[in-house]
Amino acid sequence: MPTSPHFTRSTSRRDFLARAGVGFGALALSALLAEEAQAQTVKKPHYPAKAKSVIFLFMYGGPSQMDTFDPKPGLDKYHGKTMSVALPTAGEIKTFGGGNNAPLMRSTIPFKRYGKSGIEVSDFFPHVGGCVDDICFVRSVFGSSNNHAPALFEMNTGTILQGAPSLGSWTTYGLGSENQNLPGFVVMLDPRGGPIGGAPNWASGYMPASYQGTVFRPSGVPILDLKPGEGVSDDNQKQDLEFLAQLNHEHLTARPSDSDLDARIKSYELAYRMQMAAPEAVDFSKETEETKALYGMDKPETADFGRKCLLARRMVERGVRFIQLYSGGGHGDDTWDAHGNIESNHGKHAGATDKPIAGLLQDLKRRGLLDSTLVVWAGEFGRMPISQGGAGRDHNPGVQTVWLAGGGIKGGTVVGSSDEVGYKTGEDPHPINDLHATILHCMGLEHTRLTYLFNGRNQRLTGTGGTIIKKALV
């Protein structure tokens, strides 16, 4: 294929056909529709893999590694001392509200050993602790940005710059969807709001718009305006949609390079099919009370995230390829952004998610779905070992703990480490593109082969880097 910027994968055929004359209009339309239809078509992976779906649990705001899954005895040893005493090469550290050279602060949350593997987990996550033998904790992931928006973009799209396709988009681009009546990529937000940066965190970037995530609500009407208006019969709606499709296709024939327009056409068609499939997917009436309680849906503090986790399991059962759940929404203490007080902030958010997450892992396992489902837990960055205002912690892209479970992952393991006090990575450091390469690998996709030609370059989720975290794999 030509490498000129005018001949990218997403535009070359269209530009050629547009320049060839109106006689090629129907052919241009046919080619475009064929490309866009790939979002709803099952594709073969590069090699056989156990995982068929991903559930990404995103703890928005930045959970603290040393207060959750990375115990730091060094912080007990150096509590109250400056970083220069514990790590003389670290230099001066500034925080937003803690001044210069704030003292190191130990965790006030006890850690306990769980499972046959004896992995330590803090008392914030006792239920997840009971699942450690199915989990691999990667304690040495690091990012590039200290600010929420670019850090969110990096975790979700592989780059701190806005405009790249998200991980969910790359996954559906590589594998398509196994359910023609539901989106291949579903996003569920926190009721308090979305993350900083908004929709670009689940957008398709320079790929066709049909690969972007679809925001679902875990109860009630799953997608706004999905149902027809009162008094509109199925026959009337079908006639309206057929006429609308005819007008849209005629409009598209003259504009063959407009992927947003064709994605809109496809969305009408998918929406019509979803009117039956989506409400059924969020209908929990046939779920047992025991199952609902397993997810914490019987308690007010865990009910919302429990519904999301149960819906994620139901989406996996229905062939949805990538599901992303957000804990934390809006700003400040409504997220995991614990500048003021780690104990109260993380206590609230962990209390809302611990039981539902453990319930998800247990339910997937007992239904025989965990081996074919990759579950990922992460935030956009970790937090500082020093105190901010006496009880909080500032942002820290230097290291965070990410954990994975399910399809292709070696449970009961710990990969890598942070330094003695949890400021930077220690052994076996892994940039975020290593995490992405590993997720794609578990889905049967070789990250160096999963490319999209844009602006004359074969773009990759992992950029020019990315190494599979082999120690995390079975």
Q: Which of 64, 137, 62, 143 is nearest to 386 (CA)?
A: 64
Per-residue confidence (pLDDT) for residue 165, from 0 to 100: 98
Q: CA-CA distances (angstroms) from residue 21 to 8, 16, 29, 100? A: 20, 9, 13, 66
Q: Which two tokens stand for residue 443?
A: 């889905």
Contact between 123 and 110 (Cβ < 8 Å): yes
Is residue 330 in some structural domain? yes
Per-residue confidence (pLDDT) for residue 391, from 0 to 100: 97
Is residue 263 in some structural domain? no
Rounded CA-CA distance 126/58 in Å is 19
Rounded CA-CA distance 250/257 in Å is 14
Per-residue confidence (pLDDT) for residue 271, from 0 to 100: 63
* Helix, strand, coil percent content, the chain, rounded in steps of 5: 40, 15, 45
Per-residue confidence (pLDDT) for residue 20, from 0 to 100: 40
Domain residue limits at 426: 41-220+282-472
Instruction: Count Cβ neighbours within 10 Å for each residue of 138-167 and write b for 16 or more, e otherwise.
Output: bbbbbbebeebbbbbbbbbbbbbebebbbb
Is residue 245 in some structural domain? no
Q: Which two tokens stand for residue 395?
A: 């942002």
Contact between 190 and 328 (Cβ < 8 Å): yes
Backbone angles phi, psi at 308, to 5 degrees: -60, -45
Q: Which pLDDT tens digits describe the chain residue by residue (474 residues)?
A: 333 332 334 444 444 333 443 333 343 334 334 444 566 678 999 999 999 999 999 999 999 999 999 999 999 999 999 999 999 888 777 766 556 679 999 999 999 999 999 999 999 999 999 999 999 999 999 999 999 999 999 999 999 999 999 999 999 999 998 988 899 999 999 999 999 999 999 999 999 988 999 999 877 777 766 666 677 677 776 787 778 778 888 888 888 767 667 766 766 666 666 777 788 888 999 999 999 999 999 999 999 999 999 999 999 999 999 999 999 999 999 999 999 999 999 999 999 999 999 999 999 999 999 999 999 999 999 999 999 999 999 999 999 999 999 999 999 999 999 999 999 999 999 999 999 999 999 999 999 999 999 999 999 999 999 999 999 999
Q: Which two tokens stand for residue 286?
A: 């046939």
Strand partners, 392: 388
Q: Which of 268, 274, 228, 233 is nearest to 248 (CA)?
A: 268
* Dihedral Cα 233, 236, 237, 242, nearest 10 deg: 160
Is residue 271 in some structural domain? no
> What CATH number has the domain bearing residue 435?
3.40.720.10
Rounded CA-CA distance 432/55 in Å is 17
Number of folded domains in the chain?
Answer: 1
SS in 3 state form for 192-207?
A: CECCCCCHHHCCCCCC
- Amino acid in the structure at residue 112: K
